[in-house]
Structure 1
Amino acid sequence: MKLTRKRSTYSLLLITVLIAALLSACGKDEAKTTSASDTSGSSQTSDAAADPISIKVADILTNPVFRIAKTQGFLDKYGIDAQIITFATPAEGINSIFIKQADIAWGADFPILNAVSKGDYSIIAATGTNTDIAAEKWKLYVGSDIQSAADLKGKKLSTLRGTFLPYLWDEYLKDTGVAAADTKQIGQGGFDESYVALKKGEIDAAWVVGAAMIEKFNAIEGVHELTDMSKTSVRIGGGIIAPNSLIKEHPTAVANLLRALDEASKFITDNPEKTADILYDEVKQPKESTIRDLSTNNWEIGFKQESFDSLSSQKKYMIGAGIIKDDFDLASKINLDGIKQAAPDRVTYGQ
């Protein structure tokens, strides 16, 4: 009987020891797994922020992409400390790069070309906004005595300095049989200035974009919409520009910047209401205006053959008009290393 009890005790002890050993081994394995997971996570974070950088970004009030990238942490994720500097127009933001007020800027093809023609700057991506839908958002507002394009003869036409609007005016007038020389273009600094001038009768016509601005122009007594850009031959793309020195010194940061902007664009698509709330909190942009403009203000960054063709067409015009004095090789002003890493499936130029 005693022998049986001893054997039972030994068996119990042996089972206990085995269970303890198994639990200990599992604990170690779990610890190893957790450690590997932590290490993997740290590695990914480290890789994402492998080229930390502080930059100044030129932007405008109505563009959601950079502000979403900053407020929602997409830039921080990639080690990019970005300060957003707000300008009246993208063209003003691009010009700020010349005096080192900003490091990154974006805008329509016209001011982008003007910038790269002048120095060591390159286009690092297109914004993917050269669509018929985007063109439709550009409205031409005119005084009550203008009922057709022919009535623009002898009139004062608003053009925002440094933008593509001179090109749009020339193409629109040519298409409608009006000589540009028979009109007078008045250079202005922004849509607010155009609004005041049209309201006072100091100008007779102005191209306008953006839901908030269109609402203001619609409310001017005696002013009406004559046409929109989709009914012209003009389609304007957009691009992002950076100094060559930044691209050379921080290639990974440039790719990461584009990754952050792409993630911000996806966030905007998935969260239009929240995007509108953020822009209202940040810059007091009316929520309804943000939502109405998202179909054209949100980016799909990449660089397609169509982007290059649009740039080429406008470059030819700018050289012919004397806006760009010296011709240059456009292909040498395009650096797609970063966007090929960030969104390779959206780069079709050169393929």
Structure 2
Amino acid sequence: MKKTFIHTGLLLLSLSLTILVAGCSSKGDAVPSGDTADAAQAALKIRVADINTNPTFRIAVDQGIFAKHGIEAELLNFGTPAEGVNALFIKQVDVAFGADFPLLNAVAKGEYSIIASAGLATDAAASSWKLYVRDEIQQPGDLAGKNLSFMRGTFLPYLWDEYLKENKIALSTVTLTGQGAFDEAYIALKQGDVDAAWFSGSALTDKLLALDGVHELTDMSKTNVRLGMGIVTSDEFLKQNPDGVAAFLAAVDEAGTYAQEHPEEVADLMFKEVKQPKEATLKDLPNNPWHLGFSQAAYDSLANQKKYMVDTGIIAQEFDLDSKLNLAALKQALPEEATYQK
């Protein structure tokens, strides 16, 4: 009888503990599983350079896409993508995006790598870059002797060079005036301090359309220049966080797809966060899809831009472009999109 009592007591105790554990695990405030706790601890903080008119990173934050991929992103706003790339040099940001020009400028200066293309070198994307001029300029030849604006650190000197050559205008016959942001160029054009400037983004070009004494002369799609866009980071950050950078790229690509599929949500978000008119976002969004990868075309775009920068002395010292491409994280995140072979 004693043995039976002990056996029965142990059985009841075991059953009680099982019920207790099961009850705890069903509560909302239960201790998280090991996987969940590890995911929370592993969230990588990344400071991302951004601009007001780019919705991709904002969507990734707002829709929880960064969080889903284990990224805690802090978006830092700059006047142009080139300013964001320059912020890498003082470690103000960890990752930046920009056109070929500032990316090459960065990797030429030190231990930085291009880690993906954003796939924007299209005719539609090129058409979003408009050349606005004073009314006395009615044809390209009228630009001779004029003061032309460009954004410092951007591809615009290259665009001007190519556009002027296509129209048989000597670069020596014009004055190029560097400015820091589109708003500065807008005011200079409005006041007549410059005679012509390139702009992008419907919110700004709609203002220019309403400006007296100024009109659109052409757009970049009518030139032979196509704007490659990519993502750059420091070699140090990439070495320390290879999996995190891969997760970041996967999240950005997902956000780019989401943005194209949900334009109204994007327009609402951009109005809420930066007061960009909804109609401007809806107009620009189809022309600027973000689709991460790296192809032969992306490489060729960089190579052509690099040649110009070396030939004109913008880049002082020649370097091997392939050595400045680090596509390991891209191949991990989006293997089918990394088609370029060194």
**TM-score normalised according to structure 1 size:** 0.86
SS of 1:81's equivalent? Answer: strand
- The count of aligned residue pairs is 317
Instruction: Tell me whether 1:241 sits opposite 2:255 in the alignment.
Output: no
Match of 2:102 among 111, 116, 119: 111
The separation in 1 between residues aligned to 2:197 and 2:50, in whole angstroms, is 22
SS of 1:84's equivalent? Answer: strand
Instruction: Tell me whether 1:214 sits opposite 2:205 in the alignment.
Output: yes
Comparing 108-117 and 52-61, the one that deviates more: 52-61
Match of 1:148 among 139, 156, 170: 139
Residues 338 and 144 of structure 1: CA distance in aligned 2, closer, same or farther (over 3 Å):
same
Match of 1:314 among 305, 310, 332: 305
Match of 1:169 among 149, 160, 171: 160
Deviations 1:227-277 (A, max 9, x none): 110111101110000111111111000000011111111211221101111
Match of 2:121 among 118, 123, 130: 130
Instruction: Tell me whether 1:347 sits opposite 2:338 in the alignment.
Output: yes
The separation in 2 between residues aligned to 1:305 and 1:130, in whole angstroms, is 12
Counterpart position of 2:176: 185
Query: 1:58: how far off?
Result: 0.5
Query: 1:298: how far off?
Result: 2.7
> Runs of 4 or more off by more than 4 Å in structure 1?
41-51
**TM-score normalised according to structure 2 size:** 0.88
Counterpart position of 2:7: none
Query: 1:174: how far off?
Result: 0.5
Gaps (5+ residues) in structure 1?
Answer: 1-30, 36-40
Query: Which letter maps to 1:80?
Result: I
Q: Structure 2 matches for 1:4-15, cutoff 5 A?
A: none
The separation in 1 between residues aligned to 2:36 and 2:307, in whole angstroms, is 45
Query: Which letter maps to 1:306?
Result: A
Query: 1:50: how far off?
Result: 8.3
Query: 1:71: how far off?
Result: 1.2
SS of 1:97's equivalent? Answer: coil
Match of 1:226 among 217, 227, 236: 217
Gaps (5+ residues) in structure 2?
Answer: 1-21, 27-31
Q: Structure 2 matches for 1:55-70, cutoff 5 A?
A: 55-70=46-61
The separation in 2 between residues aligned to 1:50 and 1:260, in whole angstroms, is 18
Query: 1:43: how far off?
Result: 8.1
Query: Which letter maps to 1:177?
Result: K
Query: Which letter maps to 2:269?
Result: I
Aligned residues: percent identity? 55
Instruction: Tell me whether 1:204 sits opposite 2:195 in the alignment.
Output: yes
Q: What's the RMSD between the two structures over aligned residues?
A: 2.1
Counterpart position of 1:84: 75
SS of 2:91's equivalent? Answer: coil
Residues 68 and 154 of structure 1: CA distance in aligned 2, closer, same or farther (over 3 Å):
same
Deviations 1:310-342 (A, max 9, x none): 000000000011000001010011111111122
Counterpart position of 2:259: 268
Give 1 or 2 for the bigger CA radius of gyration. Answer: 1
Counterpart position of 2:17: none
